[in-house]
Amino acid sequence: MDIKIVEERLNEIYKLIKLSLFKEASEKIDIVIEDNNINNEQIKKIINNLLDILFKFNEDRKHKEAIDTVKVISKFKDYIKDKKIENIILNELELAEGKIFLHSKPRSLQVVLTTMCNLDCIMCGLPQAHYVMPDSIKKTIIDYMPYLESVIWQGGEPLLYKGFKDLFYSASKHNVEQTVTTNGLLIDNDILDVIERTQGTIHLDISIDAVDKITYAKIRRKGDFNILLEKIDLINKKMLKKSNQNFMLGMQPVIMKSNYKQLDQMIDFAIEKGFSKILFQRLYPSYLAVNEGLNTDENNLVVEKIKEYKEKLERQQKLINIDSNLEYIKDNLNESFVCNKNAEDNCNNINIEQNNNLFCLAPWKRMFIGREKIVMPVCHCDVDGIKVDNIDDIWNGKGMIDFRKHMLEGTIPNQCNTFCKTSGDCFERIRRTGKC
């Protein structure tokens, strides 16, 4: 059959599914499959399109429709050979069915490799924790690799972790999108070689809180601005040769009293040095940097300036993306949800119709593995520091199960309602989609 006719039929099928006309869509799909006229490329495209519809149903909390969409996708099961795609489908189905014990594997990880660091920044207490991720967790992460869509490597300084290159290799072998947040000073040719060869997308986010030597040295104690400049040059030289375009160099300043007047210089620096994005981060309260917090006027000034820059750079079509989490959303605090600490500790699934307005999808899709076996959906979901005993079972350990249960019962932890709900777009996106 003519490719054009097949395309038209498929578009018709997608429309029917979006309108929840599953019976009609299924009949038409049977005809397309029986015609036996679709090639592998088309199958891939069909599955991707159906997955997008499936994601959208769950994101809109239309879980019944999501379950019906999975039934439609199952008609192509003989063609799906990829473990990652199988896992995505099972995961979306388990979410839609309100399962709290999951047979699907996590799709995204955020991992603290070590809290050790070569620097001693004024606002960060992490190096004092002296944590190094044990090999047992490293092994668990490598087992998850074939199923993962993305992973964020965190520290301390992640490049100090001795198994970093193994994990990096393993993730790139399985085409996992990787984000590394680093102070940048330990980047070397070896790491850049791996980045150069990997097929998956790499976000290399370098924390740079000042673009002059004196302020840099004041904030990033033990850091050397000249070395940082050398490392950025090395990255630029090496990455110019990289054939695939899946490399993103990011700059991440934390905005505080010592640097909030230097926004213009930071943006000029980022453009000049070839960064593709800047994320201005708000300073989280730290007993170490009590005098560095901005007052409301200063914060508003920064927020306004970032907004102006965003608009200006968009108009000029400059290829740099500016993002920020300094905006503080005061409204909308819903006090009616309270943490139900007495929720029963069992694995019975809850009828999802009890709560078809799930507050957050993250507990089904992603997992943060912090220091001392602390496990939760995202690093900021800190409730009581949920420690797990058995690292083989972290994905279905008490911590993650409780989060899923709270979401289903509508008894969400306070942290979700206060910090997370007032922290801007990125956090909103995580709650709505379960993805960063």
Ligand X SMILES: C[S@@+](CC[C@H](N)C(=O)[O-])C[C@H]1O[C@@H](n2cnc3c(N)ncnc32)[C@H](O)[C@@H]1O
Binding site for ligand X (CB under 6 A): 117, 123-124, 126, 154-157, 181-183, 207, 252, 254, 281, 283-284, 286
Residue 114 contacts which entry, ligand SF4, ligand X, none (Cβ below 5-8 A, type-dependent): none
Interacting partner of 252 out of ligand X, ligand SF4, none (Cβ under 5 to 8 A depending on kind): ligand X
The interface with ligand SF4 within residues 341-370 (CB under 6 A) comprises 359-360, 362-363
> What's the one-letter identity of residue 14?
Y
- Is 251 a binding residue for ligand SF4 by CB under 6 A? The answer is no
Between residues 318 and 385, which has the closer beta carbon with respect to ligand SF4?
385
Point out the residue whose Cβ comes nearest to ligand X. Answer: 207
Instruction: Note whether 249 and 276 are within 8 A (CB).
Output: yes
Contact yes or no for 263/302 (Cβ under 8 A): yes
281 binds, among ligand SF4, ligand X, none (CB under 5 to 8 A by kind): ligand X
Q: Closest CB to ligand X among 88 and 159? A: 159
Partner whose footprint covers residue 200, from ligand X, ligand SF4, none (CB < 5 to 8 Å by kind)? none
User: Interface residues for ligand SF4 in 381-410 (CB under 6 A)?
Assistant: 381, 403
| Sign, CA torsion 172/140/387/98 | positive
CA 35 to chain centre: 40
Please tell me the count of residues contacting ligand SF4 according to CB under 6 A: 26
Residue from 382, 424, 413, 432 nearest 110 by CA: 382
Shortest distance (Å) from residue 368 CB to ligand SF4: 9
Q: Which of residues 160-199 bind ligand SF4 (CB under 6 A)?
A: 183
Q: Does 121 bind ligand SF4 (CB under 6 A)?
A: yes
Nearer to ligand SF4, 138 or 366 (CB): 366
- Cα(149)–Cα(178) distance, rounded to whole angstroms? 9
User: How far apart are CB 346 and ligand X at their closest, in Å?
Assistant: 36
Q: What would the DSSP string read from start to end of 129-162?
A: G--B--HHHHHHHHHHGGG-SEEEEEES-GGGST
Q: Are 400 and 394 in contact (CB under 8 A)?
A: yes
Q: Examine residue 111 and tell whether it contacts ligand SF4 (CB under 6 A).
A: no
> Which whole-number Å values give the CA distances from 351 to 97, 127, 398, 405, 423, in the listed order?
8, 44, 19, 11, 30
Here's the x/- map for ligand SF4, 268-297, by CB under 6 A: it reads as: ------------------------------
- Strand spans (E) along 83-134: 108-114
The reply to whether 255 sits near ligand SF4 by the rule CB under 6 A is: no
Per the CB < 8 A criterion, the answer to whether 127 and 258 are in contact is no
The β-bridge partners of 321 are 277
Distance CA 225, CA 231 (A): 10
| CA–CA gap between residue 338 and residue 407 (Å, rounded) | 12
Residues that bind ligand SF4 (CB under 6 A): 117, 119-121, 124, 126-127, 155-157, 183, 207, 359-360, 362-363, 377-378, 380-381, 403, 415-416, 420, 430-431
